[in-house]
């Protein structure tokens, strides 16, 4: 999925399609997959990223399941995954290195039309929240609840796993 532009710029990255079941209620948004994820074609593929251990703890599945089974477990829990950006230029994996003049946001209006049960959007880190609020939210007319969460990235070491787990557990759990 990591693509080079015709001009030879290897910093051009393309995101993934969303993972969402028909009954998805919560949408988890990152900014753009990191290098490890892009290489493997999988969300949150870096071995030190806390996303899968957190999701497994919250929803009671084995974080060692193969990728497709982990995605199925999220869909059973009515959780969708996507990223704010469809494409951008970024050397490496750090959100801080995303070139602002190159970003292309995903089509959230069409996504939310296809997934009308979504009521909450959880941002995996401050950059995802900022990008969404600047490049997506002004064009949306859908009332949603927004929750800013500590990044599960290994680059965000300021928060302990326990603190991240507590915040994510509360945000991912809806009471119907």
Given 9, 10, 49, 106, the catalytic residue: 49
CB 87 within 8 A of CB 104: yes
Does 106 participate in catalysis according to the annotation?
Answer: no
Number of neighbours of residue 28 by Cβ within 10 angstroms: 28
Distances (CA, A) of 15 to 6, 60, 68, 159, 163: 18, 28, 18, 26, 28
Q: Which residues are catalytic?
A: 49
């Amino acid at each position: 999925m990591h693509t080079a532009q015709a001009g030879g710029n290897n910093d051009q990255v393309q995101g993934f399609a969303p993972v969402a079941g028909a009954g998805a209620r919560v949408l988890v948004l990152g900014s753009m997959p990191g290098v490890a994820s892009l290489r493997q074609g999988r969300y949150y593929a870096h071995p030190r990223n806390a996303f899968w251990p957190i999701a497994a703890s919250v929803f009671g599945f084995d974080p060692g399941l193969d990728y497709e089974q982990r995605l199925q477990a999220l869909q059973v829990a009515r959780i969708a995954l996507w990223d704010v950006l469809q494409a951008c230029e970024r050397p490496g994996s750090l959100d801080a290195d995303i070139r602002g003049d190159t970003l292309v946001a995903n089509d959230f209006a069409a996504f939310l039309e296809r997934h009308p049960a979504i009521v909450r959007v959880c941002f995996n880190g401050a950059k995802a929240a900022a990008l969404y609020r600047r490049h997506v939210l002004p064009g949306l007319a859908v009332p949603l609840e927004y929750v800013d969460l500590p990044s599960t990235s290994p680059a965000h070491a300021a928060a302990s796993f326990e603190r991240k787990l507590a915040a994510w557990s509360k945000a991912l759990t809806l009471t119907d």
